[in-house]
Amino acid sequence: MAAVEALRCKECHASYELEARYVCEHCFGPLEVAYDFSGLEPEAAKRRIQAGPTTLWRYADFLPFESPPRTALAAGVTPLIKADRLAESLGLGEVWVKNDAANPTHSFKDRVVTVALAKARELGYEVVACASTGNLANAVAAHAAAAGLESYVFVPSDLEEQKILATGVYGTNLVSVRGNYDDVNRLCGELAGERDWAFVNVNVRPYYAEGSKTLGFEIAEQLGFQLPDRVVVPVASGSLFTKVARGFEEWRDVGLLEGELPAFNGAQAEGCSPVARAFEEGKDVCRPVKPDTVAKSLAIGDPADGPYALELARRSGGGVDSVTDDEIRAGIRLLAQTTGVFTETAGGVTTAVLKKLADRGDIAAGERVVLVITGDGLKTLDAVRGSFETHEIEPTVSSFEDTVGVAAAA
């Protein structure tokens, strides 16, 4: 018996059928999938999870489907790595890295797209689309190709070349929009009203967002069905940040987890920090900004879930911080050089914010901290270009000794 019930407005709680709808007709509030987990027995749920596939469909009881759909390219079950050298370098007790770059298109967006496309197909759509800062573009193009659906992917024209190439290869209709992400998003909002397409992060956004819960489920399962004390998560729209918490809360509600919600620390780039600024100023809504940062995957100036991200940061005893582009580049190197995980700029933001919290003394000695790494460093190579030296030599021992040998001894 599936637990999924309806779509419900987060503001006025009006209910709607489970269809392609994302906005409340009454108050324009966002719709979210509502469940009734009262029939779910925790031990049985745990057994189903542990006997499930090594994809996010192992959490099908907590996703918006009557029965687990079949998907050609499923995401999830990425490594949770104990990062002792990173912890030591920051003077922290226990740090884990959730490496969600280990997904089919190398970012956490495979999770949301897996769920969104399964729902789009169930609802009968033949074309899928998205507004993207890059990672979502990769994922929509790939999952649509695997499912045999036509796709349209809208991106800002200044996107990193790696993300353009890793999208176009899948045979999507790639649309490069002269404007920033918020312009792309507005355009897709208008198009969603005119085309009979499933825009994964517009008209099927309530389902799409459910995919992010699985990141929380996995962290808890991989820690042995325990909650960490703190999580550090990048914030763009705020959807991932709030849905990881929702995942923890659902499992606590059904009895799969016990204890307090972890402190939620959001991470933004200073050049696009509407949520961090509102947090600092004590506001409960975000003032939009024009992004200017190397962390393009987080460059959303008008974050849709900003108010909910602020509310979560405050009630969990966490916060939202921002870091400079130089700190982001240093964060990428710090993570790479202490864990062997090469992350894109968003992961640099997250790592740099962890460092900032550690330096500020916000993290207690005994805390178990999880750092959420959402994308692969190969997507944003420019961020590390010129950050190290290469020794160029002749193919002779003497040339090696003269050049590298001396450099090593110096």
**Interface residues toward another protein, by CB under 8 A:** 11, 22-23, 25-30, 131, 179, 181-183, 185-186, 188-190, 192-193, 199, 201-202, 205, 236-240, 285, 287-288, 290, 300, 302-305, 307
Amino acid present at 194: E
Spatial neighbors of 174 by CB under 8 A, at least 6 apart, are: 137, 141, 153, 155, 164, 167, 168
Rounded to a whole number of angstroms, the minimum distance from the CB of residue 24 to another protein is: 8
Q: How far is CA 77 from the centre of its chain?
A: 14
- Which residue do the tokens 């709680």 mark? 13
Q: What is the DSSP string of 48-115?
A: HHHTS-SSGGGGGGGSS-SSPPP-SS------EEE-HHHHHHHT-SEEEEEETT-STTSBTHHHHHHH
Rounded to a whole number of angstroms, the minimum distance from the CB of residue 245 to another protein is: 15
- 8 A C-beta contact, residue 251 and residue 220: yes
**Closest by alpha carbon to 107, among 240, 299, 247, 238?**
240
Q: Looking at beta carbons only, is 58 or 163 nearer to another protein?
A: 163
Q: Looking at beta carbons only, is 235 or 357 nearer to another protein?
A: 235
Rounded to a whole number of angstroms, the minimum distance from the CB of residue 140 to another protein is: 13
Q: Looking at beta carbons only, is 96 or 279 nearer to another protein?
A: 279
Q: Looking at beta carbons only, is 20 or 341 nearer to another protein?
A: 20
Partner residues linked to 95 by β-bridges:
369
**Closest by alpha carbon to 152, among 210, 90, 197, 102?**
197
- 8 A C-beta contact, residue 218 and residue 355: no
Q: Looking at beta carbons only, is 69 or 179 nearer to another protein?
A: 179
Q: Looking at beta carbons only, is 228 or 234 nearer to another protein?
A: 234
- 8 A C-beta contact, residue 231 and residue 224: no
Rounded to a whole number of angstroms, the minimum distance from the CB of residue 29 to another protein is: 5
Rounded to a whole number of angstroms, the minimum distance from the CB of residue 233 to another protein is: 13
3-state helix, strand, coil in the chain (%, to 5): 40, 15, 40
Rounded to a whole number of angstroms, the minimum distance from the CB of residue 51 to another protein is: 33
**Pairing assessment for the beta strands 15-16 and 319-323 based on DSSP bridges:** unpaired
Rounded to a whole number of angstroms, the minimum distance from the CB of residue 195 to another protein is: 11
- Which residue do the tokens 């108010």 mark? 307
Q: Looking at beta carbons only, is 21 or 333 nearer to another protein?
A: 21
| Tokens (6 digits) for 68 | 């687990």
Q: Looking at beta carbons only, is 70 or 287 nearer to another protein?
A: 287
Rounded to a whole number of angstroms, the minimum distance from the CB of residue 408 to another protein is: 47
d(CA 218, CA 243): 13
